[in-house]
Structures are given as structure tokens and as C-alpha cells.
Amino acid sequence: DQQVKQNSPSLSVQEGRISILNCDYTNSMFDYFLWYKKYPAEGPTFLISISSIKDKNEDGRFTVFLNKSAKHLSLHIVPSQPGDSAVYFCAATDSGGGADGLTFGKGTHLIIQP
């Protein structure tokens, strides 16, 4: 039973346009969410996070939006660049859950086309 779902295995976007990656979760105890980026042969790299007390967090070209009522979050990348081509993982945790680690989605492979 997947608690964090990324329903799009892949996404292709033209360079310069906006990339929107989606993530849904089912566990209502999750209150902190993170996005990671992974290149082949490397470990996941932390990108941006958001606490459930916010609905938006922005860092340069990256913005994460959280819709708690829909249990949905999205990562916007604008403008998309060739170096953004990677697998993006959504992750979540329950801040009151102790040492539960992070629960990850399966990832979305973003391909930026020139």
C-alpha cells in the first residue's frame, strides 16, 4: 500500500517551459514534504521542502505547492533547463512519528528537450 504516489513515471518538457511534477499522499499524519532529484549513478539530492503549515515554498526556479485538503503537492520548475533532466522523488514524513525516516514515491523521470 503506497502512501506516497507519483502517478507519472515520466514527463517530457521543452527547454524554457514550466515543468510540473505531481505527488499525492494518503497518510494524513504526514506533515513535512520533500523533493529530491536523482541523476544516474548518484544518490538522491535534496531539492526543496515544505511544512504543512505552509502552502507554498519557493527557492529560485523551484516552487513547491501543498494542498492539504487534497493531499496533493506539486513541484514547479521554471524555466526548465537541460540540467533539470533527472528522476524526481517526492518524500514525506510525520514530524511527530519519531525515527520513521522518509516515505518515498516511485519517482518521475523528467526529460527536458532542447
Partner 1 sequence: ETGVTQTPRHLVMGMTNKKSLKCEQHLGHNAMYWYKQSAKKPLELMFVYSLEERVENNSVPSRFSPECPNSSHLFLHLHTLQPEDSALYLCASSQDTGTSGIYEQYFGPGTRLTVT
Interface positions with partner 1 (CB under 8 A): 2, 4, 32, 34, 36, 41-46, 49, 89, 93, 95, 97-107
Q: Which CB atom, from 37 or from 63, has the smaller least distance to partner 1?
A: 37
Q: Which CB atom, from 19 or from 93, has the smaller least distance to partner 1?
A: 93
Q: How far is the CB of 51 from partner 1 (least distance, A)?
A: 9
Q: Which CB atom, from 65 or from 104, has the smaller least distance to partner 1?
A: 104
Other CB atoms within 10 Å distance of the CB of residue 8: 14
CA 15 → CA 10, 47, 62, distances in Å? 16, 19, 15
Q: How far is the CB of 16 from partner 1 (least distance, A)?
A: 29
Q: Which three cell numbers stand for residue 12?
A: 517530457
